Structure 1
Amino acid sequence: MNIQATPEGGARQEERRYGLVDVTLRDAHQCLWSTRMTTPMMTPILSRIDDVGYEYINILGGAVFDVQVRFLQENPWERIGLLCERLRTPCDGLTRGQSLYTFELFSDDVVALNSKVLARRGLKVLTVYDALNDMRNIESSVRSAHESGMQVNAMMVYTLSPVHTDDYYVERTRELVALESDFISVKDPTGLLTPERAETLFPAIVAAAGGIPLQLHMHSQSGLASSVHEVAIRHGFRYGHTASEPLANGASHPSTEDIDDRARAMGYTTGIDRRALADVSGYFGLLAE
């Protein structure tokens, strides 16, 4: 990925680009199919996914390790290596900071070892978050990922409470800037964001990010995610997370098709090849049946 950002964190005028990150191979089926997509289900369509034009592809998260071992009888490390080898598009993996793939806490040396092994298997981006936005719990992940040669997408989790004001998220953004994150994401796992709240929150975060590219990772339970992406585009977010249409919406993310349409209507390019995307969605549609 060749990231160029303005000092305000928005896309350069001549680019007007909103890049898309594919979550079909991980978060989408985690949300809709209980993470039951097997590696053999993925491999036939990998070359066509490459042709779609995603910025990078999310292939790993905490539930992947659990389900592959307990229910699919697969080796998670083998899947990571295989997908990274077969895909030309950079691959991304998500961890829960100091908890890695679990809800326990691990020492810094274990976190560092995990980063080293992920990088050796071919991962290019490490996405990391702490569910309570305690950024001390992602420090070792960010540091070890950078030491292992990966870029870091640091997330802050969105929720509703008297505490979680725009000022609160500005402070969390500044903490992620101080950690030298390569990307900063707003993670809305329960679809609570509204376009109205995003109109005040997003420009404040973009200003606080100081040029670090912003991403939106929002699930679609409320049906508002696509509209929130429009607000993100308008206020200078650089990337959005989407899924192929058969694995989109509901508890998953908005469809790539929908966000591509909306971005184009706003005068932005996504770099998405719709013919390749149609082939990918057709494949997953048949798989779903």
Structure 2
Amino acid sequence: MTAHKTPVTVVGLGPMGHALAAAFVNAGHPTTVWNRTAAKADGLLAQGAVLAASAAEAAAASPLVIVCVLDYDASDAILLPIAGTLKGRTLVNLTADTPARSRTAAAWAAEHGIDYVDGAIMSPTFTIGTPSAVLLYSGSEETYLAHAETLAALGGSHTHLGTDPGRAAGFDLALLNIFWTSMSGLAHAFAMAEAEGIDAADFAPFAQGIIGLLPESVTEMAGLLARREFPAEISSIASNVTTMDHIIHAAESRGMDPGPLGAVRPVAQGVIDAGHGACHIARLTLHYLNTRP
């Protein structure tokens, strides 16, 4: 059943790397794995994967090499010494890091005759191999398309975002910015509620209602930014800072850190001072862009 399937190597067997390797095995691809701690491969070996004795041996086993480790310092430590083995093969780097690191890695790969695609995994480990998985890619479209059928074993949706190798990482960090900023705000909101004697279970349904406003806000902000016009039809930055001040003062009155809004409030004031207080809050985006060094 595996004779017609492209062999795949997976380097790095943390939770995500393990999930990637398992998906390839389950889809019938001959799968070679390698990890600094070999014991992490035990479950995969029972499913039919093959453990390589070294990273070089792992790379030599397949035309398609997937790497998924902690960051690009970790991937560089593994990949740079085996550039000769990787030559002529395709390397898909699903390690999370910055767009700049992705572009540097792509340039290194090109110098060494390695076909390179950068990628980002936008869903948890348990989605890999299922219809819920979400993966983004950037870099050579030709290289991506040559292996798209094999990568489909990871399940879900696969989107090639363009030839800039850093584009997938750019999407990744911007999207995770939404998630982690929201999660930190949510944690602060639960703290504020508890400080006022509000039980988390009582608070949660109303928090869900507030979160339900976000999808429409995303669409609205995208449209405003596309037009570079920021009319505030309902509430302006100037009116919103009043609420921000109430939240900050209430938190501080309970001896709490002001949380994420403590960082946002001076940004909003900068926009107001620049004469844009009557604008929609999407106007803050241009302030962030204009304050880049």
TM > 0.5: no
Higher relative contact order (CA 8 A, sep 6+): 1
Higher helix share: 2
Question: Structure 2 length as normaliser, TM-score?
Answer: 0.31
TM-score after normalising by structure 1: 0.32
